[in-house]
Amino acid sequence: MRKTFFTRFLLVAMLFTTQFAFPAEKENEQHGEQGKDLKTEIKEYISHHLKDSHDFSLFSYTKENGEHKYVGFPLPVILWDDGLKVFSSSQFHHGETLAEVDGQYYKLYHSKIYKTDAEGTINYDEDHHPTNAKPLDFSITKNVMMIIITGLLMLWLFSSLARSYAKNNGVPTGIGRFFEPIVLYIRDDIARPNIGEKRYKKYMPFLLTIFFFIWFLNMFGMTPFGVNVTGNIAITTALAILTFVITNFTGTKDYWMHQFNPLGDSLPWYGKIPLYIILVPIELLGLIIKPFSLLIRLYANMQAGHIVIGSLIGLMFIFKSWIGSPLSFGLAFAIMLIEVLVALLQAYIFTMLSALYFGFASEEHDHGHDDEPELAHL
């Protein structure tokens, strides 16, 4: 009974979301009069969902008089342009109006803020790229807001978990009973086997943080709020750089000797030179490939999931039939269930590979024995 109710609730919730994911038919017809067909509208809505923005927009609709209304809330815009400029993103009205601050005019154009005149003029170069000056943008955007919320949520969650341990002699209570097995799994099945008993503890804070940070943000991306933090390549790049920095700044002497002397002392120097011409560049290239694979894997998987779901929902408005629309809805619902698993899986993969790289950096060899030389870790 409870399972049936939960399934119906998900179906109704997703149907509610899809009703506002794209404008109504009348609105599409109005946009079509401006030269945009339905497929173009759907592509633009998917693109808008994937991008960061200076406000939260839950949904939009068009009134009878043709006025386009947005339901959501603005976020603070913080600019540095000959001084600090702070104002609400509501002044842009989703890019439809200009923001005037201290006699200066700013325009929101393709999710970026440009300095302009009272008419909102945007100048272009020969490649049709805007040439207007861009002030330094330190705004609290949608992605930044979700990062802050996720950070505060994790701080509250694990502080509560630590307090429950202290009060109950190491026995968690409440929601801590759900998260404790996950923490233990990361420690016993990811950190210890890949890093080793001697050094795994100093990497545990980062591994736990990165796992729950990615997982929570991935789950927030499944909500109707339209957040796509882990589908932003700038975010995944920053996470991969953290793993890269920690790996190389905590690397042991043996780790760095392996990068520049992968064959060890097993061959005389004149026999190693031809091999080193190939092996050393490969080892050094591997230092860059490892974090690059982390950022691309997380970015591509999350971005692709949002595109597929948005495209399947958009097909409902294209088919407009009793056969095509329910089929598209069913496929979108199935993909959303898979994405819930992918959200957890991507957090696990990022954490597992980070632990593996930390294990490479922590390697130590017994130099008293003539062990077989190891090949490059790629």
Mean pLDDT, residues 352-368 taken together: 81
11-20, 71-80, 225-234: the lowest-pLDDT one: 11-20
Domain boundary among 120, 139, 158: 139
Range in 50-64, 197-211, 268-282 with the lowest mean pLDDT: 268-282
Regarding whether 215 and 135 lie in a shared domain, the answer is no
**Would you say residue 179 lies in a domain?**
yes
Radius of gyration for the alpha carbons in the chain, expressed in angstroms and rounded: 26
Distance CA 145, CA 76 (A): 10
The model's confidence at residue 36, banded by pLDDT at 50, 70 and 90, is: low
* Average pLDDT score over residue span 71-92: 88
Structure tokens at 116: 């302009």
Torsion from C-alpha of 115, 116, 117, 120, nearest 10 degrees: -140
Contacts for 367-373: CB closer than 8 Å, 24+ residues apart? 370/266, 372/266, 373/262, 373/263, 373/264, 373/266
Q: Tell me, what DSSP letter sits at residue 365? A: -
Tell me how far CA of residue 303 lies from CA of 148, 158, 281, 338, in angstroms.
21, 29, 32, 14
304 and 160, same structural domain?
A: yes
> Cα 81 to chain center, whole Å?
29
User: Burial letters for 72-87: b for 16+ Cβ neighbours within 10 Å, e otherwise?
Assistant: bebbebebebeeebeb
Could you tell me the two tokens for 230?
């882990």
Residues 208 and 342 in one domain: yes
Confidence of residue 30 (pLDDT cuts 50, 70, 90): very low
How far are the Cα atoms of 9, 42, 74, 277 from residue 70, in angstroms, in the given order? 25, 17, 11, 61
Q: Do both 128 and 182 map to the same domain? A: no
Whether residues 300 and 326 share a domain: the answer is: yes
Helix or strand run (H / E) with residue 137? strand 136-137
Percent of the chain scoring above 90 in pLDDT: 31
Q: Encode pLDDT of 241-254 as tens digits.
A: 999 999 989 888 87
**Confidence class for position 107, pLDDT limits 50, 70, 90:** very high
Position 221 pLDDT exceeds 60: yes
Does residue 127 lie in a domain region? yes
Q: What is the pLDDT at residue 22?
A: 43
pLDDT at 151: 94
pLDDT digits (tens, 9 = 90+) for 40-72: 877 877 777 788 888 887 777 777 776 777 777
- Please, what sign has the CA dihedral across residues 241, 247, 249, 254? negative
Phi first, then psi: what are they for 22, rounded to 5°?
-130, 155
Contact between residue 299 and residue 232 where contact means Cβ atoms under 8 Å apart: yes
Band (28; pLDDT cuts 50, 70, 90):
very low
Would you say residue 118 lies in a domain?
A: yes
- Asked whether residue 248 is domain-assigned, the answer is yes
Query: Is residue 89 assigned to a domain?
Result: yes
Residue 227: pLDDT over 80 = yes
Least confident piece of the model among 59-68, 132-141, 164-173: 59-68
Region 218-235: what's the mean pLDDT? Answer: 86
196 and 116 in a single domain? The answer is no
How far is the first Cα of the chain from the last one, in angstroms, to the nearest whole number? Answer: 50
Q: Is residue 69 part of a domain?
A: no
Buried b (16+ CB within 10 A) or exposed e, 130-152: bebeebeeebebbbbbbbeebee
- Please count the CA atoms within 13 angstroms of the CA of 227 that sit on its side-chain side: 25
Residue 288 and residue 347 in one domain: yes
Per the prediction, the chain carries an average pLDDT of: 80
Residues 158, 128, single domain; the answer is no
- Please report the pLDDT score of residue 62 as a whole number: 72
Residue 355 covered by a domain: yes
* Chain position carrying tokens 């927030």: 220
Q: pTM of the full predicted structure?
A: 0.80
Instruction: Give the end of a domain, one of 109, 124, 139.
Output: 139
The CA distance from 85 to 66, in Å, is 33
Same domain, 285 and 192: yes
Same domain, 160 and 293: yes
| Same domain? 118 vs 256 | no
- Which residue segment(s) compose the domain that 81 sits in? 76-139
Tell me, yes or no, whether 21 lies in a domain.
no
pLDDT band at 21 (very low <50, low <70, confident <90, very high): very low
**Quick check: 254 and 360 in contact, CB under 8 A?**
no
Distances in Å between the Cα of 230 and the Cα atoms of 89, 154, 220, 276 are 23, 17, 10, 38
Report the percent of the chain where pLDDT is more than 70: 81
Give residue 264's pLDDT.
61
Number of independent structural domains in the chain: 2
- Domain C-terminal end among 116, 139, 162: 139
- 171 and 270 housed in the same domain: yes
